[in-house]
Amino acid sequence: MTDSGMPTARLGTDGPEVGAQGLGCMGMSFGYGPSDAEASRATLERALELGVTLYDTADAYGAGENERFLAPFFQAHREEVVVATKFALSIPPDDPTRRIVRNDAPYIREAVEASLRRLDLDVIDLYYMHRRDANVPIEETVGVMADLVREGKVKHLGLSEVTGEELRAARTVHPIAAVQSEWSLFSRDIEAGVVPAARELGVALVPYSPLGRGFLTGSFANAEQDLTEGDFRRQQPRFTGENAAANAALLAPVRAVAEAHGATLGQIALAWVHQRAQVHGLPVIPIPGTRKPTRVAENTAATRIVLTDDELSSLEPIAEKVAGDRYADMTFTSAGRE
Ligand X SMILES: NC(=O)c1ccc[n+]([C@@H]2O[C@H](COP(=O)([O-])OP(=O)(O)OC[C@H]3O[C@@H](n4cnc5c(N)ncnc54)[C@H](OP(=O)(O)O)[C@@H]3O)[C@@H](O)[C@H]2O)c1
| 293 close to 46: Cβ distance less than 8 angstroms | yes
Residue nearest to ligand X (CB): 24
Among 112, 136, 211, 335, binds ligand X (CB under 6 A): 211
Q: How many residues does the chain have?
A: 338
Among 90, 163, 217, 240, binds ligand X (CB under 6 A): 217
Alpha-carbon span 97 to 254, nearest angstrom = 37
- Only one of the segments 94-102, 106-114, 136-144, 295-303 lies at the binding site for ligand X (rule: CB under 6 A); that segment is 295-303
Query: According to CB under 6 A, which residues from 264 to 283 bind ligand X?
Result: 266
How many C-alpha atoms does 271 have within 13 Å on its Cβ side? 22
Please state the closest distance from residue 45 (CB atom) to ligand X, in A: 15
Among 12, 212, 293, 324, binds ligand X (CB under 6 A): 212
Number of residues that bind ligand X (CB under 6 A): 29
Residue type, 41: R
Q: Does 335 bind ligand X (CB under 6 A)?
A: no
Catalytic residues: 61
Query: According to CB under 6 A, which residues from 100 to 139 bind ligand X?
Result: 130
Among 85, 160, 187, 334, binds ligand X (CB under 6 A): 160
Please state the closest distance from residue 152 (CB atom) to ligand X, in A: 25
Please state the closest distance from residue 26 (CB atom) to ligand X, in A: 3
Return all residues near 235 (Cβ < 8 A) that are at least 6 apart: 328
Can you give the binding site for ligand X, defined by CB under 6 A?
24-27, 32, 56, 130, 160-161, 180, 208-214, 217, 219, 266, 287-292, 295, 298-299
